[in-house]
Structure 1
Amino acid sequence: MPILKEVVSMAMESWHVNEEVTLTWLDGGVTNMDGGAMFGVVPKPLWSKRYPVNDKNQIELRSDPILIQVDGMNLLIEAGIGNGKFSEKAIRNYGITSESKVDESLKKLNLTPEDIDAVLMTHMHFDHVSGLSRPEGDSFVSVFPNATIYVEEREWDEMREPNMRSKNTYFRENWEGIEAQVKPYKGQLEVVPDIRMIHTGGHSNGHAIIHINRGNANIWHMADLMPTHAHFPSLWVLAYDDYPVTSIMQKEKYIQGNLENSPYFIFYHDAKYRYIRFSQDGKSIEESLKRNRENE
């Protein structure tokens, strides 16, 4: 059954899912990444029909944390790209056109970073984790000092000891300032009743997804298994995926195998949609919330 909800537009979007849960997308910054890398072996004539590309062959990717307000708590999914952590070379290579404005987004909700109770990290790649800390003098300090940071233990281990491939996205400056707050879990974690983090692997060894199943909600954050709506087909996986066959299998299980239950899929990266509900045959979009581009 469709979720009873109210959507509030305020240049950022708040989705009142039901009496128990509200989701709000914060402004976490923008990257523009190579479209070929983002769609792997899928030919450009196919993927470019579903997602716009610029003259540098880059696609726009938001990095917008999702605030979950439930049980009087403020939970954050992902952390944005942060501020002041990228060199000119990195800004050019990652196509960064805007850094994080999470503080400003929270202020619109009469909140501060100190009000965040927990951060749910699906994985620790730079475009998800950089917003957890900020430079202060010669070191880094936590942006959300009162939050418990949840991350799958395999992801946390590789974050601190990356291999030859993953060292290009797991950076010391992104964990040194927050390690005392990190609470690793293995496999699956129920953060609060009926909000779960589920290990999938695929995109990275410790990659996880999030399921919100409160009241009449059936909401899935697939993270980088489906970073945009255009990545809906199971075989459309990223060249960045460390274990692409695992990504395909998990997409079959949690996306294609779940359509009959009318799930809503929420996005951190999508430049057009905040959430989507597909038809049960997966051939059309039944319902969606588009990103508000006002004041950008």
Structure 2
Amino acid sequence: MKFALIGAAGYIAERHMRAIKETGNTLVCASDRFDVMGRIDSYFPDAEFFLEHENLDKYMDNQRMAGTPIDYVSICTPNYMHPSHIRFALRSGANAICEKPMVIHPEEMRIIKEIEEETGKRVFTVLQLRHHQAILDLKEQIDKAPTNKFYNIDLSYITTRGNWYFKSWKGDVAKSGGIATNIGIHLFDMLIWIFGSVKDCRVHLYESHKAAGSLKLEKAEVKWHLSLDENDLPAEAVQAGKRTFRSINVEGKEVEFSDGFTDLHTVTYQNILNGNGFGIDDARESIELTERIRELGGLV
């Protein structure tokens, strides 16, 4: 398969390049406003590279007219750009693979769904926690339990960030969706996937660098805490020299999943290429939930 990649200089883009290579496919072209792109040499040194999106558009159009169209466009741009880049991919005759969150606002999913139907192409999103072995084991355990069993859960995700974060697009709620979207979307998707749809949502704290609240799902009551503050790291993480801590406590039993993320983008790509990727309907509830959290936090 022939791939294009938009946002090639971003942190997460290298995982997409590796996934394209490890699944036996080719990155034909890439674009980014930032021109320090030495990383691409480790994966696809022959790929065309463009600083302007318009030039990528022209190149892809020429490829299509020459009978060698791009099959997939991987999207690693800032969150607020995702809808326009998804529309571009679909209308260019390619499927799209979009980093989380697929979109910030639920209304954008309706528009994209219509373009999918119009073009016959699809957008897939990266929900890599659904491929994490510890999470798969937890889902299997919950699925095998009596259907009327209800769980109490504590969820913490602390991933420390420096001052740069708040001066970048990630620190701008309008561009990132805020901490619940930019940091928490995978976790909320995972909870809904395992424990069922949202019945109630409360927000106790919502600031630029941390948020906390509670959820009532079909099978669980969840207390959640997200933070970018290193002072919130537990002692064991600090002693181990770690700057990230992920933890789910289910009925007093710890499910630790801080590690095991290295190859999950490749697994994600393999599933998409095999016809088992996650699309709009899979991402919908977590996107609707994070918008509700912003509303309750006074940010909408």
Please tell me the TM-score bracket, short chain as reference: under 0.3
More strand by share: 1
The higher relative CO (CA closer than 8 Å, separation ≥ 6) is in 2
Instruction: Tell me the TM-score normalised to structure 1 length.
Output: 0.27
- Greater share of helix: 2
Structure with larger Rg: 2
TM value normalised by structure 2: 0.27
